[in-house]
């Protein structure tokens, strides 16, 4: 049994209004969202018992659900209270929290209003160690045009592509992949946003074609307060030779330093001469109360 599954099975999960042991939190194999990718979810992190930006994550969850026509009978404040109750019942201070909203197993039709909306929240013990020097390749699949799927909805529908990309990336010995947008500009990684920098200047792609991560927004604000200039731009691969450091951000990974990105014919290296990524990681730890 993997470490993750072991952790999950010892915990309580909140599902459709009740706290149950995770082994009893089961769903039907004909669950609509399992077949048609219609679920929406969040990834949240608790530090010393407090979930970073829980309000923002919860609002995004409900907005994502709305994009797919799903509504739950709980307000943002009620969901926040359930989340803290769940952490307390599981005795968790440091945790990864996963709320998920999905359609039930009442029909195999691609869409019918007869389908129920279901809601669960799980929390597993998790404390992340900061990483640096990870290696990326450039994924062969491009992010969907924002006209194809709402980019700010954290829907399982987006993640088929991230998984297909990661399968290749790991087969080739990389830690993750940089994904390009539909026009070939730099977008993000499979589950994180990306930044490039030199000295006190940082650039990051404009988040109109991919998820504008909550960590991304927090790190931009933090970096500006620390005296960095942060610009949002369309960025093409050849521009990367201008930068000395690169890092990715996301709730699960927090801030991870990137050592190199391998494109078809060229390898972009980020020596991070001033150890800016480590500096930002230390400041991030203070910000989230790690
Ligand atoms: N992009 C994608 C595709 C992601 O899955 C995530 C993780 N939620 C992010 C960016 C980072 O978002 P956040 O900082 O809100 O976790």
| Ligand 1: residue whose CA is nearest its atom 7 | 191
Which element (helix H / strand E) includes 61? helix 54-67
> What are the helix (H) ranges across 68-186?
76-90, 156-171
In the prediction, which pLDDT does 276 show? 98
Residue showing tokens 């998984």: 163
| Cα–ligand 1 centroid distance for 256 (angstroms) | 13
Is residue 152 within 8 A of residue 206, CB to CB? The reply is no
- DSSP E strands, the chain: 12-15, 18-21, 40-41, 44-47, 50-51, 95-103, 117-125, 131-138, 176-180, 186-189, 193-198, 201-205, 229-233, 245-250, 254-262, 267-269
| Cα–ligand 1 centroid distance for 114 (angstroms) | 31
Among the atoms of ligand 1, which is closest to the Cα of residue 162? 3
Taking each helix axis as running N to C, give the angle between helix 54-67 and helix 76-90, from 0 to 180 degrees, rounded to the nearest 10.
Answer: 120
For residue 138, give every residue at least 6 positions away whose Cβ sits within 8 Å of its Cβ, in sequence order, or none.
Answer: 177, 178, 179, 180, 237, 261, 262, 263, 264
Mean pLDDT by groups of 10 residues along the chain of 290 residues: 58 96 94 96 98 98 97 98 97 96 97 96 95 97 94 95 96 98 98 98 98 98 98 98 98 98 96 98 97
193 in contact with ligand 1, CB cutoff 6 A = yes
Taking the model in full, what pTM does it have? Answer: 0.96
| Cα–ligand 1 centroid distance for 110 (angstroms) | 27
Give catalytic residues, as residue numbers: 154
In the prediction, which pLDDT does 126 show? 94
In the prediction, which pLDDT does 5 show? 57
CA distance to 96, 185, 211, per residue, from 159 (Å): 18, 19, 12
Q: Which of 40, 43, 57, 157 has most ligand 1 atoms within 8 Å of CB, for mutation? A: 43
Is residue 231 within 8 A of residue 203, CB to CB? The reply is yes
Nearest to 60 by CA among 231, 175, 213, 243: 213
| Ligand 1: residue whose CA is nearest its atom 10 | 192
Pairing between β-strand 131-138 and β-strand 254-262 as defined by DSSP bridges: parallel
In the prediction, which pLDDT does 1 show? 42
Q: Is 206 helix (H, G, I), strand (E, B) or coil?
A: coil
Beta bridge partners of 125: 95
Q: Which of 39, 213, 220, 254 has most ligand 1 atoms within 8 Å of CB, for mutation? A: 213
Pairing between β-strand 12-15 and β-strand 117-125 as defined by DSSP bridges: antiparallel
| Cα–ligand 1 centroid distance for 206 (angstroms) | 14
């Amino acid at each position: 049994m993997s470490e993750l599954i072991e952790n999950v099975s010892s915990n309580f999960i909140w599902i459709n209004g009740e706290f149950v042991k995770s082994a009893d939190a089961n769903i039907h194999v004909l669950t609509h969202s399992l077949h048609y990718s219609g679920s929406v979810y969040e990834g949240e992190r608790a530090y010393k018992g407090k979930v970073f930006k829980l309000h923002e994550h919860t609002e995004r969850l409900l907005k994502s659900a709305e994009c797919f026509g799903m509504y739950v009978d709980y307000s943002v404040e009620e969901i926040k209270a359930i989340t803290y109750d769940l952490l307390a019942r599981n005795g968790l201070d440091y945790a990864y929290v996963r709320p998920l909203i999905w359609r039930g197993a009442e029909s195999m039709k691609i869409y019918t209003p007869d389908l129920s909306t279901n809601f669960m929240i799980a929390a597993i013990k998790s404390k992340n160690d900061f990483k640096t020097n990870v290696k990326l390749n450039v994924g062969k699949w491009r992010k969907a045009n924002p006209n194809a799927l709402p980019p700010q909805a954290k829907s399982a529908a987006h993640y088929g592509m991230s998984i297909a990309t990661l399968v290749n990336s790991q087969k080739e010995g990389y830690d993750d992949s940089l994904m390009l947008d539909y026009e070939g500009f730099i977008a993000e990684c499979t589950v994180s946003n990306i930044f490039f920098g030199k000295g006190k200047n940082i650039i990051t792609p404009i988040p109109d074609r991919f998820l504008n991560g909550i960590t991304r927004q927090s790190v931009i604000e933090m970096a500006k307060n620390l005296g960095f200039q942060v610009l949002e731009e369309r960025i093409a691969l050849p521009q990367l030779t201008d930068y000395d450091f690169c890092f990715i951000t996301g709730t699960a990974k927090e801030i991870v330093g990137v050592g190199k990105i391998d494109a078809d014919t060229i390898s972009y290296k980020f020596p991070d001469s001033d150890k800016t990524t480590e500096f930002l990681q230390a400041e991030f730890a203070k910000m989230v109360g790690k």
